[in-house]
Amino acid sequence: MCGICCSVSFSAECFSKGWKEDLRYNLERRGPNSSKQLLKSNTNYQCLFSGHVLHLRGVLTAQPVEDERGNVFLWNGEVFSGIKVEAKENDTQIMFNYLSSCENESDVLSLFSQVQGPWSFIYYQASSHHLWFGRDFFGRRSLLWHFSNLGKSFCLSSVGTQTSGATSQWQEVPASGIFKIDLKSTSISKSVVLKLYPWKCTSRENVIKECVNSLTQISANLQTFVSVIANEAKLCLEEPVVPLNMMLPQAPFEIHCRNISCLPPTRETLEVFLTDGRRKEIVHQFIDVLSIAVKRRVLNLPRDENLTPSEVSKTCDRKANVAILFSGGIDSMVIATLADRHIPLDEPIDLLNVAFMTKEKTIPTSFNKKSGKQENRCEIPSEESSKNVAPAAAASPDKQFRVPDRITGRAGLKELQAANPSRTWNFVEINVSLEELQNFRTTRICHLIQPLDTVLDDSIGCAVWFASRGIGRLVTQDGVRSYQSTAKAVLTGIGADEQLAGYSRHRVRFQTHGLEGLNKELEMELGRISSRNLGRDDRVIGDHGKEARFPFLDESVVSFLNSLPVWEKANLTLPRGIGEKLILRLAAVELGLTACALLPKRAMQFGSRIAKMEKNNEKASDKCGRLQVISLENLSIEKETKT
């Protein structure tokens, strides 16, 4: 994880005004281990490169990096596969070495087509005055652009700034491919021309039509002096995943499912599916590919390898290197179970569980009555108050923070402890008051969520920010103590619902348009996940100097799931809690998990109860007034006016 930025100016006046200290501060929060700036001046333009590194693998490599020919590289990514990076090597330097040896455009595109893992980058080719930049296929790393002064300057950055009245000027770079700008040409014409090298699937038809549509859509959101064109050679990047299997069953699906659609949502029902040898084989293939994806994301981390045996035995003193956004739901439970396979046994795992303060009314243990399941099988442990507990959790924490995700989280903790009692599982109860939410939303979270601006973005963005911050308390047999997670890698389950029909809208689509409609909905989900979720979540988690990692969006996992017909992944003729994400529920059963395999999908904003804290009559798609930024300058003017 890094904070990367390139500010380009075509006049000295714009350059002096273009760089803001608050932008540098926001970037430094993402990369606390190294900060460096590099200025490249030309008679026609000036480029200020700023790199801020969170060190996670190999030798600490300060950014930006520059070679003997004046080429400059900024990299915010992880190479998990596709290009060989040894355990002791740093992927920034490896990628730059390859880029420096590229002789033409095709070589650059070939390189990025091979990389498997999340990335965003900025690359300056000195001899040609070209600036390359882009995001990976899913957009798992944030990159924003900001064009100003009628083409006199522009900026690329991992994160934006809190600017009153100009929030819309920061926009996410579309994950449509790689872009290139000719800086010398731009300085003369005073208009910015972006050349796009789009992603292309070799087996897909109408590639040219798709590219034209993409260009039109991108251009529509930009200022008039910025244009997007296709590269003259019609070169493309190769998509890193296979296309979605849109196959439909030969017999009507209702007939196909006649014998199972009336089955109750129980573990026994899931076990019936596993009596089919072919289905069981597919489930195990899914477990294997997901396990490898988790392994890649938990092993490439700096660890204390020189500890003495006596130090190793003191597991309570060891720090967790990996944390999981943990609700106790099926996504986070499966990730935790697989992480347990690969993380050294003497190393704790942090389970980050966030809850927002509820009003006086408490939530019954069996809160999910509609599904007919009893969720009171797991007793809630009694908790003693402690002087060390954070202020937000001090008064009756059980009553004020007994939200659905806290209940299922504690139940999930017991299940994990039973499965591996030798592991130290740090269940971090992160309790957030209304005052704390409003304070940090204004001072930190607001600009991280932007340029997204809906009520849903506010709810999820704030919940993920507090959860990934990892400041809370541990409730153990010895009592309650305050705790702050130091884990730099944060695993999240995003991508499971989008691929496995986990949302209620998928069920509605299936009921109205059948499997064909469901296929189209799932195809759309992956197509928009970069703009809808991932840039925001990367900015929010990265603000703590931590890196978001998405096992369900590993290229191999997505390719495996894309290769399956939709009915192998979900069966929405079955009720909630079993039909959606069916293949994942079967995987959970095979992994030995019990209660979580039958939990229905519950969105984070409802499970954590953040959606109920302020306004109950909002729609998720409404523009959120709480995200509107008021500058300090405007606040001082308002105060002067009142006095």
Q: What is the pLDDT of residues 28-47, one digit of tens each?
A: 999 999 999 999 988 889 99
Task: State the DSSP H helix or E strand holding residue 109, giving kind and residue range, or none if neither.
Answer: helix 105-114
Given CA atoms 512, 517, 519, 523 in this order, what sign does their dihedral have? negative
How does residue 637 score in pLDDT terms, banded at 50, 70 and 90? very low
Residue 282 has pLDDT above 80, yes or no: yes
Q: What is the pLDDT of residues 323-360, one digit of tens each?
A: 999 999 999 999 999 999 999 999 999 999 999 998 75
Q: What number is the average pLDDT over the span 500-511?
A: 95
Mean predicted confidence (pLDDT) in 133-143: 97
Catalytic residues: 2
Structure token pair of residue 303: 């660890």
pLDDT at 496: 97
577 closest CA partner among 557, 561, 563, 598: 598
Helices and strands of the chain, counted as H and E runs: 24, 21
pLDDT at 12: 65
Tell me the pLDDT tens digit for each residue of 219-252: 888 888 899 999 999 999 999 999 999 999 876 6
Residue 390: the pLDDT is 41
Q: Return the minimum-mean-pLDDT range out of 193-207, 326-340, 403-417, 542-556.
A: 193-207
Would the pLDDT of 471 be above 90?
A: yes
Where are the domains positioned within the chain? 2-238, 265-302+320-627
Q: Are 35 and 28 in contact (CB under 8 A)?
A: yes
Mean pLDDT of the chain: 86
Q: What angle do CA 241, 242, 248 make, to 5 degrees?
A: 140
Under DSSP, the state recorded for 241 is S
For residue 94, pLDDT over 90 is answered with yes
Q: What is the structure's pLDDT at 72?
A: 97
Nearest to 487 by CA among 613, 348, 586: 348
Residue found by looking up tokens 């590289």 in the block: 73
Out of 172-176, 194-198, 204-208, 299-303, pick the least confident: 204-208
Average pLDDT of the segment spanning 56-80? 95
Token output for 203 = 């087996």
Q: Which residues, listed in sequence order, are joined to residue 642 by a DSSP beta bridge?
A: none
In angstroms, the CA 265 to CA 577 distance is 7
Kindly state the average pLDDT of the residues 212-223: 82
Residues 626-633: contacts with CB under 8 Å, at least 24 apart: 626/441, 626/446, 626/458, 627/441, 627/446, 627/449, 627/450, 627/453, 627/457, 627/458, 628/167, 629/162, 629/163, 629/164, 629/167, 629/446, 629/447, 629/450, 630/164, 631/162, 631/163, 631/164, 631/165, 633/164
| The one-letter amino acid at 74 | L
Q: How far is the CA of 37 from the CAs of 5, 7, 59, 294, 486, in angstroms? A: 9, 11, 19, 34, 27
Q: Which residues contact 10 (CB under 8 A, 6 or more apart)?
A: 44, 45, 151, 152, 153, 186, 187, 190
Mean pLDDT of 403-415: 95
Does 636 have pLDDT greater than 50? no
Taking the C-alpha atoms of residue 146 and residue 167, their distance in angstroms, rounded to an integer, is: 10
Separation between Cα atoms, residue 92 and residue 73, nearest integer Å: 8
Q: So what's the architecture of 2-238 in CATH?
A: 4-Layer Sandwich (3.60)
> What's the pLDDT score for residue 228?
93
Query: Judging by DSSP bridges, how do beta strands 130-135 and 119-125 pair with one another?
Result: antiparallel
Angle at 206 between CA 204 and CA 207, to 5 degrees: 70
Buried b (16+ CB within 10 A) or exposed e, 47-77: bbbbbbbbbbbbeebebbbbeeeebbbbbbb
Which tokens belong to 571?
A: 């069966």
pLDDT digit string, tens, across residues 358-377? 875 544 444 444 444 333 33
Contacts of 402 (CB under 8 A, 6+ apart): 355, 358, 362, 363, 380
**Confidence class of residue 102 from pLDDT cuts 50, 70 and 90?**
very high
Task: Indicate the pLDDT class of residue 385, thresholds 50, 70 and 90.
Answer: very low
pLDDT of residue 254: 55
Residue 276, pLDDT > 50, answer yes
Angle at 333 between CA 330 and CA 335, to 5 degrees: 110
What is the pLDDT, as a whole number, of residue 148?
A: 82
Residues in the chain: 643
Report whether CATH 2.40.50.100 matches the domain 265-302+320-627: no
Q: In this predicted model, what pLDDT tens digit does every residue of 577-631 receive, in sequence order?
A: 999 999 999 999 999 999 999 988 888 888 888 887 887 788 888 888 888 764 4
pLDDT in the model for residue 280: 96
pLDDT score for 219: 85
Provide the pLDDT for residue 279. 95
Q: Do 142 and 539 meet the contact criterion of CB atoms below 8 Å apart?
A: yes
List the beta bridge partners of residue 426: 350
Let me know: does 102 contact 111? Beta carbons within 8 Å: yes
What are the tens digits of pLDDT across the range 506-545? 999 999 999 999 999 999 999 999 999 999 999 999 999 9
Predicted confidence band of residue 381 (pLDDT cuts 50, 70, 90): very low
Average pLDDT over residues 149-176: 80
Q: What is the predicted pLDDT for the residue at 477?
A: 81
pLDDT of residue 216: 83
H or E, element range at 119? strand 119-125
Q: Is the pLDDT of residue 268 over 60?
A: yes
Rounded to whole angstroms, how far apart are CA atoms 368 and 265? 13
Q: What pTM was estimated for this model as a whole?
A: 0.89
